[in-house]
Amino acid sequence: MFEAFKTRAEGVGAEVHRVATREEALLFIRWFLETERINESPGSGALWAKSALLDGVPESEIPRHPGLSHDVSRDRAAQAKLGISEAQWGVADTGSLVLDQGAPEQRLVSSLPTIHLALLPTGNILAGKTQVFAKMNPATSKYIAFITGPSRTADIERVLTIGVHGPERLVIVCIDDVEGGTR
Amino acid sequence: MNKEFKAKIDRAVNNANLTGALGKFSEAYKVNRAKAYEGIDFEELRGRVACIKSEAAADLDGLAEEFRKNAEALGAKVFRTSDPHQVKEYILKVAQEAGVKTVVKSKSMATEEIHLNPYLVKNGISVAETDLGEWIIQLAGQTPSHMVMPAIHLTKEEVAELFSKEVEERLAADIPRLVKVARNELRPKFLAADMGISGGNIAVAETGSIVLVTNEGNARLVTTLPRIHVAVIGVEKLIKEFAGVAPILEALPRSATAQLLTSYVSIISGPTQNDDGSPKELHIVLMDNRRSEMARDPKFKQALQCIRCGSCLNVCPIFRLVGGHVFGDIYTGGIGTILTAWFDELKKSEDIQGLCIQCGNCTQVCPGKIDIPELILEIRRRLVLEKGQPLLQKAIFSVVNNRRMFHGMLRAASLAGKPFSSGKFIRHLPLFLAELTDGRSLPAIADKPFRDQFRDLKQPVCAEKAVFYAGCLMDFAYPEMGVALIKLLNKAGIEVIFPDEQTCCGAPALYNGAYEVAAQNAADNITALLAAEASYVVSACPTCTVALAHDFQKTLESVGRTEWLPKAKELAAKTVDLSTLVKRLVDAGRLSFKEGEQLGAVTYHDSCHLKRTLKVFDEPRELLEKAGYQVTEMFECDMCCGMGGSYSIKLPEISAPILQRKLQNIKDTGAPVVAMDCPGCVMQIRGGMDQDGAQVRVQHSVELLVDRIKG
């Protein structure tokens, strides 16, 4: 399932990584913050929206980095280079992420910054839309977002161009060993 | 057709940028769409989509109320109206009460339909379209030319020009750079706007949810950043169950842009919080504007199965030539013609309905399974009922209904045509008729029509008989095709009967909306063709075959002459096209081909009615191969040749370039012969080749097959 998901997601321009544990994921994020030179100057920050993955993680193990904040606001999101959030489901046949984004900060970090990094439990990758629809409940999830690759347009001369109003890059980190994942 | 409309067409077909861009796009679309549907049973999928949508259309009122109840329970305000003006008033009222100064919009055809933007602007509210294509046309002061790609008619140079003015900086025609400019210009507008207006691709009654499908991410910002969100949704977007969203999402992106899924799909069920913690105001406007009336119409209710993918535009040979603006300001292309007739007014569709050549390409790809050409014919019929037939047309059709007079005139034309014909063609016609021969020579009327030649033909006496329905072209222009057909069937031990009382199949009248005339043609032919005892009624003209096998019943039924239906059915069951019959006879061992001779390459042109209505395309190819030819496929072998019966006479400015494309595709194969199964296509393509001067023989299959059969 993961391989199918990866192929489809990369096919639409997403970057897909896979790690074994939550600890490895946190390490990946530290590395990513470094590589992308996240810092406190305007336009270079990172924002991390509330994520169930961090529940129970000791304060000391949560990555700290200059320019990284967990306090999401519109202004910070508009200035951020990187937004980090968690996806609930993956869709193998289209390479899509499905995110429960009823909380506005989840949308801010995944739509305004230039890069969106999404964490996804590998075990939550389902075969297709039909399987995902069977799991979703609009009565409790008021804003469900399917995200498939970065923002794109072909409105000028049908030439595919990446990054119009949403992120130019979508980085997906699949984590094997978390709740709901394949242990 | 009015002069202004003709001038519009003229400008469009002579706009090289437009036809170049659309031509390239339509070619790429065909390939990409097929790829996007790989591994998916399209017929099964569109069956489900059509079912979900048609069930919804049957209960729009019930679903709208259920939606209202459920969305309001979640905290949304739902406003339902049939009047477009009330939609505008409602949105303005919401805006004024909340002190809204600026609005950002994501793409919404429903708001285009009611001209919302100028109304808000007039009332002092600034409105920014944020979909890149919509923003471009907003800056250009134009209207969308395509439902999915609103600015497809503009070049990057034109866009650079528009953007340069907007940002007061000289910009190069560099697409990634222009997209960046749009991002940077629109971002502050998103952040500052008080109200976001979106459309909606689907509205789910069961859950009160709306679904937005986009690629750029603008709808996510429009529905997130401003404190008020207004969604304007046509009631035909309603579906009953949440589970119905998945199949529509399978089909919509694949058909619209050949994507497996768009970058973003948002499913919004009631208002959420704003990012400052305040509750968002969510208003959902369910707009009717004659959709419910459409749902009650036995024919047009089908059009509500549309999911607005625009694929009917992308495969249309006319659209790719003239673009969207010839069709009108809002909904364009095939489905647009139908929607304009309803949401705007029937009269508005008077000219544009004539653009449809009835090739049927769109019926093959429509994910809502809408028979668009048939609905356009129905518009034609209603226009004729409302306005009456134009006098000249009326005169022509009354002649067609008088077989003796009609045939007499055709004979007279054989003599009258002489001064202008050379050999087999009429090359020039005088005065106002000259445009008929523009780019194409017309066949000279035969000295001796088939019906006269038939009497002198010697046939073996056989137990098995077939009735031959010739059709006008074979009877009066190409009798040699009829003679070949008889020779061929005789070799299989079938004796051919030609009832003299047969007349025009009625297709010209039908395709011009003159159903009463067509119905009379049907009745006359049914009587003539069923009079003799025979195993088959065979025709070598696909349009005639479709008339006999499909249209007679439908036409007679729609004018209320139901007493004819049993006989029409009897005739339909006996009717067969030539290639299908010959293939059957070959398979049964009753006909066999001479062996051991290589006859060289031949390319095959699929005629619209044969390929898409009768679904016959392998048979003629197989027969040509068996006969000793090597079939070399041309590019777009099943694209219309531009003939379309009287279409080529009414709209020669469109028919001619379509023909030119076909001629080029034929010539590119290098085959010295092109075969086809339709005498109408022969007339168009042979005439085109004659004026082109190319050394390509244009033949009906029957002419190529007959001498290759043993016996």
When pLDDT is cut at 50, 70 and 90, the band that residue A181 belongs to is: very low
B259 and B374 belong to one structural domain? no
Which secondary-structure segment (H or E) carries B416? helix B403-416
- Quote the CA–CA distance of B448 and A127 in Å, as a whole number: 68
Question: Does the CB of A166 have a partner CB in chain B at under 8 Å?
Answer: yes
The shortest C-alpha distance from B88 to chain A (Å) reads: 26
Partners of B576 in the beta sheet? B538
Q: For residue A108, what is the nearest residue in chain B, using CA coordinates?
A: B224
Ranges of H-type helices in B469-597: 471-476, 479-491, 507-510, 515-530, 542-546, 552-558, 565-574, 578-587
- Annotate B664-688 with b (16+ C-beta within 10 A) or e (fewer): ebbbebebebbbbbbbbbbbbbbbb
- Quote the CA–CA distance of B184 and B88 in Å, as a whole number: 30
Length, in residues, of chain B: 711
pLDDT on residue A182: 38
The residue that leads in pLDDT, B345 or B247, is B247
B363 and B219 belong to one structural domain? no
| Domain limit, last residue, from B335, B356, B387 | B387
* CATH label of the domain that carries residue B69: 3.40.50.10420
Greatest distance between any 2 Cα atoms in chain A: 52
Tell me whether residues A104 and B275 touch, CB distance under 8 A: yes
| Domain limit, last residue, from B549, B565, B587 | B587
Tell me whether residues A166 and B272 touch, CB distance under 8 A: no
- Quote the CA–CA distance of B237 and A143 in Å, as a whole number: 19
The shortest C-alpha distance from B96 to chain A (Å) reads: 25
Q: Which residues contact B120 (CB under 8 A, 6 or more apart)?
A: B88, B91, B92, B95, B103, B127
Tell me whether residues B179 and A163 touch, CB distance under 8 A: yes
Return the closest-CA partner of residue A8 out of A178, A172, A177, A181: A172
* CATH label of the domain that carries residue B460: 1.20.1050.140
Return the closest-CA partner of residue B669 out of B704, B641, B630: B630
pLDDT on residue A183: 32
Sign of CA dihedral B95, B101, B107, B111: positive
- Quote the CA–CA distance of B353 and B377 in Å, as a whole number: 8
Q: Number of folded domains in chain B?
A: 4
Containing structural domain, residue B28: 6-128+192-292
Alpha-carbon distances of B681 from B441, B541, B640, B674, rounded to whole Å: 13, 10, 9, 11
3-class state of residue B79 by DSSP: strand
Percentage of chain B modeled with pLDDT above 70: 94
B256 and B287 belong to one structural domain? yes
Over range B240-252, report the average pLDDT. Answer: 96
Tell me whether residues A165 and B272 touch, CB distance under 8 A: no
Give the other-Cβ count within 10 Å of B700's Cβ: 26
Which tokens go with B274? 């704003």
Which tokens go with B418? 């002489």
pLDDT on residue B709: 93
B542 and B658 belong to one structural domain? no
Q: Residue B27: inside a domain, yes or no? A: yes
The shortest C-alpha distance from B38 to chain A (Å) reads: 12
Question: Does the CB of A99 have a partner CB in chain B at under 8 Å?
Answer: no
Return the closest-CA partner of residue B303 out of B343, B360, B330: B343
Tell me whether residues B246 and A138 touch, CB distance under 8 A: no
A 11-50 near B (Cβ less than 8 A): 12
Question: Does the CB of B272 have a partner CB in chain A at under 8 Å?
Answer: yes
Quick: pLDDT tens for A115-146: 999 999 999 999 999 999 999 999 999 999 99
Return the closest-CA partner of residue A141 out of B244, B219, B262, B208: B208
Q: Which residue do the tokens 């994942």 mark?
A: A181
DSSP state of B258: S
* Chain A residues within 8 A of B248 when measuring between CB atoms: none
Going by DSSP bridges, is the β-strand pair A96-100/A143-147 parallel, antiparallel, or unpaired?
A: antiparallel
The alpha carbon of residue B670 and the mean position of all alpha carbons in its chain are separated, in whole angstroms, by 30
Q: Residue B118: inside a domain, yes or no? A: yes
Return the closest-CA partner of residue A32 out of A119, A107, A112: A119
Residue B572 clears pLDDT 60, i.e. is over it: yes
Give the other-Cβ count within 10 Å of A30's Cβ: 14
Over range A12-20, report the average pLDDT. Answer: 97
Over range B77-101, report the average pLDDT. Answer: 97
Quick: pLDDT tens for B159-213: 999 999 999 999 999 999 999 999 999 999 999 999 999 999 999 999 999 999 9
Q: Residue B182: inside a domain, yes or no? A: no
Q: Residue B400: inside a domain, yes or no? A: no
Q: Give B24's Cβ-side CA count (13 Å radius).
A: 10
Q: Which residues contact B599 (CB under 8 A, 6 or more apart)?
A: B627, B628, B629, B630, B708
Question: Does the CB of B221 have a partner CB in chain A at under 8 Å?
Answer: yes
B101 and B248 belong to one structural domain? yes
DSSP state of B493: T
B258 and B314 belong to one structural domain? no
Q: For residue B39, what is the nearest residue in chain A, using CA coordinates?
A: A93
Quick: pLDDT tens for B272-310: 999 999 999 999 999 999 999 999 999 999 999 999 999
Which secondary-structure segment (H or E) carries B239? strand B238-239
* CATH label of the domain that carries residue B369: 1.10.1060.10
The shortest C-alpha distance from B194 to chain A (Å) reads: 14
Q: For residue A129, what is the nearest residue in chain B, using CA coordinates?
A: B246
Residue B271 clears pLDDT 60, i.e. is over it: yes
Question: Does the CB of B138 have a partner CB in chain A at under 8 Å?
Answer: no
The alpha carbon of residue A54 and the mean position of all alpha carbons in its chain are separated, in whole angstroms, by 14
Q: For residue B178, what is the nearest residue in chain A, using CA coordinates?
A: A156
Over range B13-18, report the average pLDDT. Answer: 86
Quick: pLDDT tens for A105-123: 999 999 999 999 999 999 9
Question: Does the CB of A84 have a partner CB in chain B at under 8 Å?
Answer: no
Give the other-Cβ count within 10 Å of B502's Cβ: 25
B354 and B250 belong to one structural domain? no
Return the closest-CA partner of residue B85 out of B251, B287, B258: B287
**Exposed, middle or buried by CB within 10 Å (0-12, 13-18, 19+), for B438?**
middle
Tell me whether residues A144 and B207 touch, CB distance under 8 A: no
Which tokens go with B95? 């805006």
Q: Which residues contact B303 (CB under 8 A, 6 or more apart)?
A: B294, B335, B338, B339, B342, B370, B375
Quick: pLDDT tens for B403-453: 777 777 667 666 665 655 666 666 555 444 455 566 667 777 788 889 999
* A182 backbone φψ class: left, alpha, beta (φ>0; ψ -120 to 50): beta
Quick: pLDDT tens for B106-148: 999 999 999 999 999 999 999 999 999 999 999 999 988 888 8
Residue B231 clears pLDDT 50, i.e. is over it: yes
| Cβ atoms of residues B156 and B178 within 8 Å | yes
Question: Does the CB of A111 have a partner CB in chain B at under 8 Å?
Answer: yes
Q: Residue B363: inside a domain, yes or no? A: yes
B274 and B221 belong to one structural domain? yes
Question: Does the CB of A127 have a partner CB in chain B at under 8 Å?
Answer: no
| Cβ atoms of residues B577 and B616 within 8 Å | yes
B197 and B72 belong to one structural domain? yes
Give the A:B interface size as CB pairs under 8 Å: 168
Length, in residues, of chain A: 183
Domains of chain A: 2-177 (3.40.50.10420)
- Quote the CA–CA distance of A83 and A105 in Å, as a whole number: 10
Tell me whether residues A103 and B273 touch, CB distance under 8 A: yes
The shortest C-alpha distance from A50 to chain B (Å) reads: 14
* Whole-number average pLDDT of chain A: 93
3-state SS of B89-130 is HHHHHHHHHCCCCEEEECCCHHHHHCCHHHHHHHCCCEEEEC
**Exposed, middle or buried by CB within 10 Å (0-12, 13-18, 19+), for B392?**
exposed
- Annotate A94-112 with b (16+ C-beta within 10 A) or e (fewer): bbbbbbbbbbbbbbbbbbb
Q: For residue A92, what is the nearest residue in chain B, using CA coordinates?
A: B260
| Cβ atoms of residues B160 and B178 within 8 Å | yes
**Residue from the list A102, A130, A144 with its beta carbon closest to the beta carbon of B246:** A130
Quick: pLDDT tens for B161-172: 999 999 999 999
Q: Residue B164: inside a domain, yes or no? A: no
B114 and B196 belong to one structural domain? yes
- Quote the CA–CA distance of B92 and B125 in Å, as a whole number: 9
B101 and B45 belong to one structural domain? yes
Q: Residue B568: inside a domain, yes or no? A: yes
Interface probe, candidates A108, A137, A142, chain B, greatest B C-beta count within 10 A: A142
The shortest C-alpha distance from A138 to chain B (Å) reads: 6
- Quote the CA–CA distance of B26 and B33 in Å, as a whole number: 10
Q: Residue B410: inside a domain, yes or no? A: no
Question: Does the CB of A105 have a partner CB in chain B at under 8 Å?
Answer: yes
| Cβ atoms of residues B196 and B218 within 8 Å | no
| Domain limit, last residue, from B587, B614, B649 | B587
B226 and B116 belong to one structural domain? yes
Tell me whether residues B242 and A95 touch, CB distance under 8 A: no
- Quote the CA–CA distance of A85 and A70 in Å, as a whole number: 10
